[in-house]
């Protein structure tokens, strides 16, 4: 992380490490552990390609150190679509699809990282 952050193109970007406390969390992964987040931010639109490329490279480099899964509230619109959403909900995903089909078949609640009915 230190080595990768040294090449960060924006002073507005940060790495966040959050301690999650296991069973008290709302996510399906109930073990205590840590959540790793890259908050990539920049002001100059001309710097977008460089910052996006750096962020993706850092995330790829961190993969060997991360467990499978994702925290749904941190997924971006371009964060891999259904596969990442499925990873965030883990073993609960298939059941949540059934709930969505029953209670929201027209997909009214779709402005988040959506589970499609």
pTM above 0.85, yes or no: no
Q: Coil, helix or strand for 7?
A: coil
Q: Where are the domains of the chain?
A: 2-67, 77-117
Express each pLDDT in 48-87 by its tens digit. 999 999 999 998 999 999 887 777 777 776 665 678 788 8
Contact 117, 97 (CB under 8 A): yes
Q: pLDDT tens for residues 15-40?
A: 999 887 766 555 666 677 788 889 99
| 89 has a pLDDT exceeding 60 | yes
Do 38 and 59 touch, CB atoms closer than 8 A? Answer: yes
How many C-alpha atoms does 77 have within 13 Å on its Cβ side?
2
Mean pLDDT of 105-117: 79
pLDDT class of 6 with cuts at 50, 70, 90 = very high
Question: In whole angstroms, what is the distance from residue 89 CA to residue 72 CA?
Answer: 7
């Amino acid at each position: 992380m230190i080595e990768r952050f040294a090449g960060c193109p924006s002073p507005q970007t940060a790495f966040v490490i959050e301690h999650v406390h296991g069973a008290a969390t709302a996510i399906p992964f109930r073990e205590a552990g840590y959540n790793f987040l890259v908050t990539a931010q920049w002001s100059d639109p001309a710097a977008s390609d460089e910052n996006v490329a750096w962020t993706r490279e850092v995330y790829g480099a961190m993969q060997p150190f991360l467990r499978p899964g994702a925290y749904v509230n941190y997924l971006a619109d371009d964060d891999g679509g259904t596969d990442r959403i499925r990873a965030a909900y883990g073993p609960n995903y298939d059941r949540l699809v059934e709930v969505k089909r029953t209670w929201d078949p027209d997909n009214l609640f779709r402005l988040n990282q959506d589970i499609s009915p």
